[in-house]
């Protein structure tokens, strides 16, 4: 399981770098479009579609990164009131529910890729596959991260 932890750590570093790069591209393309529109009365219609794709990638990669770090939503006030063994069972239940959700996202994301691969965006002539691919990736990456989190939870359970 140590190899999965190392692999996931590398994946998380890659995700952070991708997120930073995508945010920079979004920022510069939007600023350039605004400046060109205001100063030279030139519109870059492709900026809207590019940023739509980047936004979807950022949302799903960011969500998988968050699940990998164990930052999913829970009510800490109630969680902290539980005894440690009950907390671990609750964590395992949450991980199981997450795994089912991520599997569904991966499977249906894969179906959406097949649906969208023949359609293209009008201004950038790029397949809709690139809009739907992060949904499938979210499922796969989140499954990897959650398996590691389950393993860590089980190891902590044995330590109590």
Place of tokens 């690139």: 130
Mean pLDDT for the stretch of residues 112-126 = 89
Judge whether residue 15 has pLDDT over 70: yes
Nearest to 139 by CA among 68, 71, 72: 68
Lookup: tokens for 38: 């205001």
Q: What would the pLDDT profile of 81-97 be if each residue is shown by its tens digit?
A: 888 888 888 888 888 99
Which pLDDT value is given to residue 159?
41
pTM of the predicted structure, to 2 decimals: 0.83
Q: Using one digit for the tens of pLDDT, what is the confidence trace for 30-50? A: 999 999 989 998 888 889 999
Q: Which domain holds residue 69?
A: 2-159
Name the H helices within the chain: 2-40, 46-68, 76-81, 84-116, 129-159
Q: If DSSP codes are grouped into helix, strand and coil, which group holds residue 127?
A: strand
**How many distinct structural domains can be found in the chain?**
1
Predicted confidence (pLDDT) at residue 158 exceeds the cutoff of 50: no
Mean pLDDT is lowest, of 67-81, 111-125, 138-152, for 67-81
For CA atoms 18, 22, 27, 29, give the dihedral sign. positive
What are the φ and ψ backbone dihedral angles of 45, each rounded to 5 degrees? -65, -30
């Amino acid at each position: 399981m140590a190899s999965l932890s190392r692999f996931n750590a590398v994946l998380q570093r890659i995700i952070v770098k991708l997120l930073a790069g995508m945010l920079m591209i979004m920022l510069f393309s939007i600023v350039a479009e605004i400046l060109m529109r205001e100063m030279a009365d030139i519109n870059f219609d492709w900026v809207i579609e590019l940023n739509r794709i980047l936004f979807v990638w950022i949302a799903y990669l960011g969500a998988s990164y968050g699940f990998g770090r164990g930052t999913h939503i829970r009510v800490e006030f109630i969680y902290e009131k539980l005894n440690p063994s009950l907390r671990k069972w609750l964590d395992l239940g949450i991980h199981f529910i997450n795994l089912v959700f991520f599997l569904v996202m991966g499977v249906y994301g894969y179906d959406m890729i097949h649906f969208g691969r023949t359609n293209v965006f009008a201004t950038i002539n790029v397949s809709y596959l690139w809009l739907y691919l992060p949904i499938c990736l979210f499922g796969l990456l989140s499954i990897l991260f959650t398996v590691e989190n389950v393993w860590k939870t089980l190891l902590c359970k044995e330590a109590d």
